[in-house]
């Protein structure tokens, strides 16, 4: 089935006000272009879940799209504080629900597996378990001690960026795979963004690399450079300079407003955004090649 559509159409169709959204990617493959499109379309009251909210949720919160965040590490990775989300929480204007990394991805794993909850061994650091009553303790029914459990996370919509996919949404991902697969399987709807749309034969040439099967995908969007300022392994580098720059931009509401106006409201789509970044950024983020050894599946 051909599910190819523009990102604007996909967001319009599959992201609704009030949705629980999981834009996946642990530092890698973060679908910034989709976050920007959600901002442009003015979604409201979203619940934004991610292990690491990263700049994408800082920007969505800054643009007034969210009422709540669910996270396990709220920082600007490698830089410091995530200023907007932090300030909104401190001011009491943004709800939050918090886990450890393992708690957060155990919730997704449960959601992706169709289970009601997931057990974890105890850590004895009880304060977060007390602060967030979604943590419960149950006795191991087979004897021994007890385990901590967290409920399944079942987002309304997952947005997952991948290196390549076919028109049906069968997707190859390599590099840091974070929680991409789990987010896709846990969610009711899946929007896939891809650096490249390829023939089904390319996917079939390396089936072990397919993390997401097309039949759970709703939309396939061809969005080169979707992940900037995050990165896509083998395609372009992480723009560390922008992560530092955001730390400055996000210090003032004027700075944030100017950024949103210029780089989100002021552009039509990712292609225009990428062009506006200019040749200096393009060349700085280029990567040289380092291919894997060829895998031979054998002809049977």
CB of 295 to another protein, least distance (A): 15
Q: Is 249 exposed, middle or buried (0-12, 13-18, 19+ CB in 10 A)?
A: buried
77 binds another protein (CB under 8 A): yes
Please say which residue, 4 or 186, places its beta carbon nearer to another protein: 186
Q: Are 94 and 84 in contact (CB under 8 A)?
A: no
81 binds another protein (CB under 8 A): yes
x-or-dash string of contact with another protein, 262-291, rule CB under 8 A: -------------------------x--x-
Q: Residue 86: which of 100, 96, 99 has the closest Cα?
A: 96
Which one among 39, 51, 150, 190 touches another protein, defined by CB under 8 A?
51
64 binds another protein (CB under 8 A): no
256 binds another protein (CB under 8 A): no
Q: What angle do CA 195, 201, 203 make, to 5 degrees?
A: 50
Stretch that binds another protein, among 60-68, 120-128, 212-220, 251-259 (CB under 8 A): 120-128
In angstroms, the CA 243 to CA 239 distance is 7
187 binds another protein (CB under 8 A): no
3-state helix, strand, coil in the chain (%, to 5): 35, 25, 40
Please say which residue, 15 or 112, places its beta carbon nearer to another protein: 112
Contacts of 240 (CB under 8 A, 6+ apart): 78
133 binds another protein (CB under 8 A): no
What token pair was written down for 182?
Answer: 């789990």
Please say which residue, 98 or 269, places its beta carbon nearer to another protein: 98
Q: Is 54 exposed, middle or buried (0-12, 13-18, 19+ CB in 10 A)?
A: buried
Going by the DSSP 8-state scheme, the letter that residue 103 receives in this structure is H
Length of the chain measured in residues: 300
138 binds another protein (CB under 8 A): no
Stretch that binds another protein, among 1-9, 23-31, 214-222, 265-273 (CB under 8 A): 23-31
102 binds another protein (CB under 8 A): yes
Contacts of 64 (CB under 8 A, 6+ apart): 44
Contact residues toward another protein (CB under 8 A) are 26-28, 51-52, 71-75, 77-78, 81-82, 86, 89-90, 92, 98-103, 105-106, 108-109, 120-128, 131, 145, 174-182, 231, 233, 237-238, 240, 243, 287, 290
């Amino acid at each position: 089935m051909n599910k190819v559509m523009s990102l604007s159409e996909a967001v319009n169709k599959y992201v609704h006000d009030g949705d629980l959204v999981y834009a996946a990617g642990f530092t890698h493959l973060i679908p910034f272009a989709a976050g920007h499109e959600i901002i442009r379309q003015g979604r409201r009251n979203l619940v934004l879940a991610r292990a690491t909210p990263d700049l994408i949720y800082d920007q969505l919160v800054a643009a007034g799209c969210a009422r709540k965040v669910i996270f396990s590490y709220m920082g600007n990775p490698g830089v410091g504080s995530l200023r907007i989300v932090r300030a909104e929480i401190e001011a009491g204007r943004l709800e939050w629900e918090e886990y450890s990394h393992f708690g957060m991805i155990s919730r997704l794993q449960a959601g992706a597996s169709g289970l009601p909850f997931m057990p974890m061994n105890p850590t004895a650091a009880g304060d977060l378990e007390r602060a967030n009553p979604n943590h419960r303790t149950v006795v191991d029914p087979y004897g021994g001690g007890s385990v901590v459990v967290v409920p399944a996370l079942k987002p309304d919509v997952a947005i997952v960026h991948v290196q390549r996919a076919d028109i049906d949404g069968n997707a190859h991902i390599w590099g840091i795979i974070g929680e991409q697969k789990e987010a896709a399987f846990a969610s009711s709807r899946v929007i896939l963004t891809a650096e490249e749309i390829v023939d089904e034969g390319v996917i079939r040439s390396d089936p072990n690399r397919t993390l997401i099967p097309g039949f759970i995908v709703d939309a396939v969007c061809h969005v080169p450079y979707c992940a900037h300022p995050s990165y896509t392994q083998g395609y372009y580098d992480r723009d560390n300079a922008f992560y530092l720059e955001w730390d400055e931009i996000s210090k003032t509401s004027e700075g944030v407003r100017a950024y949103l106006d210029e780089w989100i409201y002021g552009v039509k789509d990712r292609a225009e955004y990428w062009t506006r970044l200019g040749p200096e950024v393009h060349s700085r983020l280029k990567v040289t090649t380092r291919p894997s050894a060829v895998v031979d599946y054998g002809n049977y």
